[in-house]
Chain A
Amino acid sequence: MSITRREFLKRGTLAAGAITLLSNTKLKGMKKYPTGWKGRERVQEIPSICEMCFWRCGILGNVDKHGKLLKIDGNPIHPLTHGRLCARGNAGHKLAYDPDRLKYPLMRVGKRGEGKFKRVSWEEALDFMTDKLKKIKSEYGAESIGFFPHGIQARFFEHVMKGFGTPNIVEPAFAQCRGSRDVGYKLTFGNSVGSPEPLDFENTDLMVFIGTHIGENVFTGQNLQFAEAISRGAKLIVVDPRFSVAAGKADYWLPIKPGTDTALLLAWMHVLIYENTYDKKYIEQNAIGFNELKKHVKDLTPEWASKITGLPADLIVETAREMGKYFPKVGVHPGRHVAWYGNDSQRGRAMAILTALLGSYGRPGGIYLSSKIPAPKYPSGKNPKPGPRADGAGSIYPFGSRGLGITNGLVDATYSEDPYPIKAWIVYSQNVLQSIPDPWKTKEAINKLDLLVVVDVLPMEQFLYADLVLPEATYLERYDDLYTVKNAKIPFAAIRQPVIDPLYESKPGWWIAKETAKRLGLEEHFQWDTIEEYLDYRLSGLGVTLKEIQASGIVEYDKGTPYYDFSKPVKFKTASGKIELYSKTLKDYGFDPIPVYEPTDDVPKGYFRLTYGRSPVHSFARSQNNEILHGYMPENELWINKQVAKKLNLLDGEYIQVENQDGIISSEIRLKVTPGIHPEAVYMVHGFDQKSPFLELAYKHGASDTYLMSRVVVDPLSGGTGMRVNFVRIVKNGEPIMIDGAVSVVSQFKKTKKGDAPKRHIIVPEVHEEAEASDEGC
């Protein structure tokens, strides 16, 4: 018998034999799909909202008959994302099932920083916390308590804190992120742009990004609108010292010298005004201060800006002409995460003024207007009148937000006990050591506290220093406050509801807040029995009940036009009622009424400017322990310019360290040698080298940008921390790599911080593997 191979391969004669053979022996009982297809095991799809980042896209949790979350899909009826989710949203179930989660309330038994805790009951934990808070309040006043919230889950606890009487509520979303831009836009248009940015990419003809790196900084809805605009043929100008993903799609990439954006913006204004290609009618109708602006930018020519920015003058002219050609359908992205150089509010102002010259605020293709959602406000009891703030918002920093506060201001106050001592911090889903620069000072501030309470899902770094740790349920296990989205063309409200039951002893934020309020005698702030009842109350304004929207997760509201109607005079919410190209308010406070280019400290020889940004597979410093996302990006890389690397004999992929201007040395980080970065700068993704040994995957992977920020320049308007003012040199095998003639700049810069000189090496707390602690499983 002779069988040819071809016959064998035909799924016929002999192959059939093989089938019998195999199915009879090795594979008995195997399912067709390797591990069973989840879709078939799904018994329920529960709509809710993501919280892998603050964008809160609509999700559908696919749950099996045992109540296990199999997979997260996008909610197809979500008005901004249409059923799409980013990498992080798709990996969200790994947060709920992270083995390192905080499982029980914990009370510290060792020294701060040691990470030694004992398990306690919720009863004990809440009694302990509230007793301490009452004691601190009676001795030092309610204002001696600082609250660091993040996310909508923390809102309930915020009502407790306000009811208790503290004014010191601070979020990094302002001072470390978008605060300065909101100040700049508010001073100009009377409104901050808010979030999500109401950019009308659907109708835009030209997008302008300054440092905005959509595609790497991913928010599903905005990403989608961006991609559709590109595909429609909208043009794109990207100003970034780094060749971002967006730069790869741009018609013009302007690899600007870091820190000089305001010069470029002023030169653009010069061209628009002196070539007479701005929106004259819009400005005449709606703005004040045009003549002052015209005079102000008279000498700020493209040639002038070219010398500062390193960009060719004709490129500056050409890009300005593009804007002049397409206005008002130009979407100048106001940016996010823009706390860069300490002059950021004025840069925000310059971007707002540019937007005004293009006539695109409140017009199709530019920035649309947000709408109202008639959900009733929180039914709070009467809050006591809070004492003066300690963070400087509204005083030292006249335009600092009193709603979001100034994190670094409160850290400073705690550290210096000025204007008064701060005795307790409650840190709620924030990572204060990886989000606020100068973590040494933050640690020293923590040392001054009588009480540090951490409410979180994972044992993040500050957990090590906590006196009390309260494990919160993840976003997949709880109800939260109603999420209302006003910055959408069709405004809507979305609910977060439990997809699975809370694991371990974790509890939802609303429960923690309500129980705390009970113990503090603040029941009047929680006049609802169940969270369902509360959500029904808020939804009543939209004419629906919770039950009615539980199957869809979303309710839309109103379809009015989100643009100004210029047939009637428009009143802006500024002091003058007009768009303020010239700001008398600023002048009265002693600031420049029209933005001036203020140079930032130059990069010392042998050093690089440290810049940082985001990756599409991680959120801030929050997601690095997620099994899937860690798999994609376990550590960050240091981008360095190819020609520079060649000169310094540095190779792609090799591990190096960096040392900053104050002698602080980072952990090891892999080099990414690339043509896509300005020779003066290096770049890393934020959020790595986590120092909590209880995060098995995130612990000591890559390098931390925050730990290299021993220096900040604080924006005098907003109080935001300019963080791109740190310089690093490369250290290889313990030796600094020097460019010829370079000298060390250690301590050459004036210190802007009050803290002690940072230690040369980063101290990482040791793991104490005592039976007691490891019993807790943390």
Chain B
Amino acid sequence: MSRYAMVIDLRKCVGCDACTVACRTEWDVPIGHSRTWVEQNVMVGEFPNVNATNWVAQCNHCDEPSCIPPCPTGATFQKKDGSVVVDTELCIGCGFCVEACPYDARYVNPLTNKVDKCDFCEARLGEGLLPACVTTCTGNAKFFGDLEDRNSVVYKKVYREGAWRNENENASIGPNVYYLGTPEQLEIVKEKFGPRQSRMATPAEMWKDVIKPLVFTAVAATFAGQAVAFFEQLRKGEEPIDE
């Protein structure tokens, strides 16, 4: 078993956006959207008593991802290594997971109409490469590895150096992107970049945006049976979707 994780050392990060550009070119992420994003020099305080941090974020590949339950097709799922990925063949671009993610880590790619997000560079890992952002980081501030492996760099940083998880009262779902930083930096992160509450789609929205069009497609494709029965049931709202 493995549990992939990343550690970002904000003490080293300079907020240069090399990582996000590398990610963009690796995965053709369209301008205006991001799999990973950076905010440089986020300041608090009054002149001349100022503190700041840079901020780097992406999908956290959470232990209990909020993005999986609302997916009507099962396109979003968690792999054995703990990473959360989107099967684009299944994704219908409904965007419910985008709303559900408390870290705003997902977007609907306008070119493909599929949801996209960080997948820890699954394809690169498959070829024995590290994620693109880790490889290019100009501050050597991003670390990737397996938390189950006691010799991994992330194990050391999480369990020995005490890397921190970005959770709060809005969301506590076990993010696997960890942070190291000075107390001042982590204070700023807590104040400005903590997760929001998950927004789950209501059954009515689900019907309007996804299921109805799906049914029509389904009928056209002579697919009916259990699906229709299920959709019907959903439409009646017998079961709240965000239970």
The answer to the question of B138 belonging to the interface, with a C-beta cut-off of 8 Å to chain A, is yes
What chain B residues lie within 8 Å of A14 (beta carbons)? 226-227, 230
A18, A247, A631: most-surrounded residue (chain B CB, <10 A): A18
Whether A227 touches B221, Cβ cut-off 8 Å, given contacts A35-B112, A255-B47, is no
Identify the closest chain B residue to A94 (Cβ).
B25
Find out whether the CB atom of A83 lies under 8 angstroms from the CB atom of B135. Answer: yes
Tell me which residues across on chain A come within 8 A of B136, comparing CB atoms.
Answer: 73-74, 83-85, 90
Contact A628 B50 (CB under 8 A): no
Residue of B nearest to A21 (CB): B223
From residue 31 to 81 of chain B, which have CB atoms closer than 8 A to chain A? Answer: 31-32, 40-41, 43-48, 50-54, 68-69, 71-74, 77
Does B31 lie within 8 Å of A675, measured CB to CB? no
Q: Which residues of A contact B77 (CB under 8 A)?
A: 11
Query: Which of B84-92, B147-155, B163-171 lies at the interface?
Result: B84-92
In the complex, how many residues of chain B place their beta carbon closer than 8 angstroms to a beta carbon of chain A? 76
A39 within 8 Å of B (CB atoms) = yes
Q: Which residue of A lies closest to B51 (CB)?
A: A248
**Bound: A91/B54 CA distance, A:** 21
Do A32 and B14 have beta carbons less than 8 Å apart?
no
With known contacts A9-B74, A86-B18, A631–B32 Cβ distance under 8 A: yes
Report if B205 contacts A (CB, 8 A): no
Which residues, 611 to 637 on A, are CB-close (under 8 Å) to B? 616-617, 627-629, 631-632
Residues of A within 8 A of B15 (CB): 215, 245, 616
Question: Which residues from A are CB-within-8-Å of B48?
Answer: 253, 255
Known: A30-B88, A90-B22, A243-B41. A228 touches B111 (CB 8 A): no
Most B CB contacts (10 A, CB to CB) among A5, A91, A231, A617 go to: A5
A716 to B93, CA, bound (A): 65
Give the interface centre of A22, A226, A243 by most chain B CB atoms within 10 Å. Answer: A22
Judge whether B24 and A628 touch: CB under 8 Å: yes
Residue B234 is within 8 A (CB to CB) of chain A in the complex? yes
Q: Mark B77-121, 1 if CB is under 8 A from A, else 0.
A: 100000000011110100000000000000001011010100000
Contact A19–B18 (Cβ < 8 Å)? no
Q: 0/1 per residue, A1-36, Cβ < 8 Å to B?
A: 111110011110111011111111111001111110
**Residues of chain A contacted by B109 (CB below 8 angstroms):** 34
Q: Does A72 contact B (CB under 8 A)?
A: yes
Q: Which of B18, B114, B124, B127 has the most chain A CB atoms closer than 10 A to its own CB?
A: B18
Question: Taking the complex as formed, is A307 at the interface, i.e. its CB lies under 8 A from any CB of chain B?
Answer: no
A686 at the interface (CB under 8 A from B): no
With a cutoff of 8 Å between Cβ atoms, the chain A residues found around residue B124 in the complex are 39
Whether a CB of chain B sits under 8 angstroms from the CB of A304 is no
- When C-beta atoms are compared, the residue in chain A nearest to B71 turns out to be A9
| B21:A90 contact, CB within 8 angstroms | yes
Centre residue among A227, A628, A629, A642 by max chain B CB count within 10 A:
A227
A627 to B11: give the CA distance in the assembly, Å: 30
Contact A35 B50 (CB under 8 A): no
Is B47 within 8 A of A677, CB to CB?
yes
Asked if B141 lies at the interface with its beta carbon under 8 angstroms from chain A, I say yes
- Provide the bound-state CA to CA distance between A87 and B47, in Å: 30
Whether, in the assembled complex, A482 has its beta carbon less than 8 Å from a beta carbon of chain B, the answer is no
Q: Do A35 and B25 have beta carbons less than 8 Å apart? A: no
A244 within 8 A of B: yes
A91 pairs with B41, CB closer than 8 A:
no
B140 touches A32 (CB 8 A): no
The answer to the question of B209 belonging to the interface, with a C-beta cut-off of 8 Å to chain A, is no
Given contacts A3-B230, A223-B16, contact A37 B92 (CB under 8 A): no
A216→B71 CA distance, assembly (Å)? 40
Report if B204 contacts A (CB, 8 A): no
Chain A proximity of B172: nearest CB distance (Å): 21
Closest chain A residue, CB of each to CB of B54: A245
Is B17 a contact partner of A642 (Cβ separation < 8 A)?
A: no
Residues of A within 8 A of B54 (CB): 245, 248
> A65 an interface residue at 8 Å Cβ cutoff?
no
A72 adjacent to B25 (CB under 8 Å): yes
Q: Please, how many angstroms separate the alpha-carbon atoms of A10 and B89 in the complex?
A: 17
- Distance of A181 from chain B, by nearest CB (Å): 22
Which of A227-283 touch B at CB < 8 Å? 227-228, 230-231, 243-245, 247-249, 253, 255
- Tell yes or no: A352 within 8 A of B by CB: no
| A676 is an interface residue with CB less than 8 A from chain B | yes
Taking a contact as CB atoms under 8 Å apart, the answer to whether A84 and B45 are in contact is: no
B191 close to chain A: CB less than 8 A: no
Q: Are B24 and A231 in contact (CB under 8 A)?
A: no
Q: Is the CB of A1 within 8 A of B50?
A: no
A566 to chain B, nearest CB (A): 33
Within the complex, the shortest CB–CB distance from A618 to chain B, in Å, comes to: 11
> Which single residue of chain A is at the shortest CB-CB distance from B112?
A34
**Of residues B48, B109, B241, which shows the largest number of chain A Cβ atoms within 10 Å of its Cβ?**
B48
Q: Does A674 contact B (CB under 8 A)?
A: yes
Smallest CB gap from B44: residue in A: A675
Residues of the B chain whose Cβ atoms lie less than 8 Å from the Cβ of A24 = 221, 223
Those of A206-223 within 8 Å (CB) of chain B = 214-216, 218, 220, 223
| B12: interface (CB < 8 Å) | yes
Which B residues are in CB contact (< 8 Å) with A22? 73, 89-90, 92
B14 touches A1 (CB 8 A): no
Closest B residue to A24 by beta carbon equals: B221
A40 at the interface (CB under 8 A from B): yes
Chain A residues whose CB sits within 8 angstroms of the CB of B187 once the complex forms: none
Which residues of chain A are within 8 angstroms of B217 by Cβ–Cβ distance?
21, 25-26
Tell me if B28 and A245 are in contact (CB < 8 A). Answer: no
Known: A34-B111, A84-B18, A218-B138. A245 touches B47 (CB 8 A): no
User: B112 — which chain A residues lie within 8 A by C-beta?
Assistant: 34-35
Q: Which residue of the partner chain B has the closest CB to A678?
A: B47
Cβ–Cβ contact B90 & A87, under 8 A: no
Q: How distant is the Cα of A18 from the Cα of B73 in the complex, in angstroms? A: 6
Q: Let me know if A71 is at the binding interface, CB within 8 A.
A: yes
Question: Please, how many angstroms separate the alpha-carbon atoms of A754 and B47 in the complex?
Answer: 39
- Measured in the bound complex, the distance between the Cα atoms of B230 and A18 in whole Å is 12
Interface string of A672-695 (1 = CB under 8 A from B): 001111110000000000000000
- Complex Cα–Cα for A10 and B77 (A): 10
Interface check A38, CB cutoff 8 A? yes
Whether A21 touches B138, Cβ cut-off 8 Å, given contacts A35-B28, A616-B15, A676-B50, is no
What residues of A have a CB within 8 angstroms of the CB of B47 in the complex? 243, 255, 641-643, 675-679
Distance of A509 Cα from B19 Cα, bound (Å): 32
A214 and B223 CA atoms in complex are apart in Å by: 60
Would A34 and B28 count as touching, CB distance under 8 A?
Answer: yes
Q: Which of B12, B43, B129, B229 contacts A227 (CB 8 A)?
A: B12
Given A223-B138, A228-B140, A628 and B31 contact (CB-CB distance below 8 Å): yes
Q: Residues of B contacting A678 with CB < 8 Å?
A: 47
* CB-defined A-B contacts under 8 Å, sample of 23: A18-B227, A19-B74, A21-B221, A22-B90, A34-B27, A34-B112, A35-B28, A40-B123, A84-B135, A84-B138, A86-B18, A223-B14, A227-B140, A230-B11, A231-B11, A248-B41, A248-B43, A249-B11, A255-B47, A675-B45, A676-B41, A676-B50, A677-B47
- Top 9 A-B residue pairs of the complex, sorted by shortest distance between their CB atoms: A215-B14, A631-B31, A227-B139, A248-B52, A616-B16, A15-B74, A90-B21, A227-B12, A11-B74
